[in-house]
């Protein structure tokens, strides 16, 4: 019984550590893009870098595949988020940070036909901005 408990506790710790590592990796990538494109927000290379980063992460890539998301979808959503959320608060910048979170990316892709204001407000509420 003790061996089973130790095994379950070890497995839970490994899953937690891996999840935390993945979240920190995505956060670091998001902040790096914010820093890099802070003064060049309309650069088309930004959209490509966001899309490439999403494809590299297994969970975010899975969401992209579920919604058959393309570079054009990311471009459209970024444009909508730029309209109402073009400001930075600490290490959060809605038009970039929103793509690097599982729940926000899923919401964006499910509601990509919504208006820009409602999408941006939802993302700002999620990040407590």
Q: How many domains does the chain have?
A: 1
Whether the predicted model's global pTM rises above the 0.85 cut: no
What distances in angstroms separate CA 62 from CA 67, 109, 119, one per listed residue? 9, 12, 21
Share of the chain above pLDDT 90, in %: 1
**What residues make up the domain containing 119?**
2-126
CA distances for 6 relative to 33, 46, 128, angstroms: 41, 45, 38
Q: What is the pLDDT of residue 46?
A: 84
| Residue 41 · residue 82 · CB < 8 Å | yes
CA 85-116-125 angle, to 5 degrees, is 55
Query: Which pLDDT band, with edges at 50, 70 and 90, does 91 fall under?
Result: confident
Averaged pLDDT of the chain:
84
**Gap between the Cα atoms of 48 and 64, Å rounded:** 14
Please state, for a pLDDT cut of 70, what percent of the chain lies above it: 98
pLDDT band at 85 (very low <50, low <70, confident <90, very high): low
**With bands split at pLDDT 50, 70 and 90, how would you rate the model's confidence at 101?**
confident
């Amino acid at each position: 019984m003790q061996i089973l408990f130790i095994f379950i506790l070890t497995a839970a710790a490994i899953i937690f550590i891996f999840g935390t590592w993945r979240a920190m990796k995505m956060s670091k990538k998001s902040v790096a893009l914010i820093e890099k494109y802070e003064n060049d927000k309309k650069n088309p290379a930004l959209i490509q870098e966001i899309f490439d980063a999403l494809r590299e992460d297994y969970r975010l890539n899975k969401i992209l595949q579920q919604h058959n998301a393309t570079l054009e979808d990311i471009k459209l959503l970024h444009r909508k988020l730029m309209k109402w959320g073009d400001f930075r608060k600490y290490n959060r910048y809605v038009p970039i940070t929103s793509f690097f979170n599982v729940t926000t990316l899923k919401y964006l892709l499910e509601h990509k036909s919504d208006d820009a204001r409602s999408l941006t407000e939802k993302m700002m509420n999620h990040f407590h901005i």
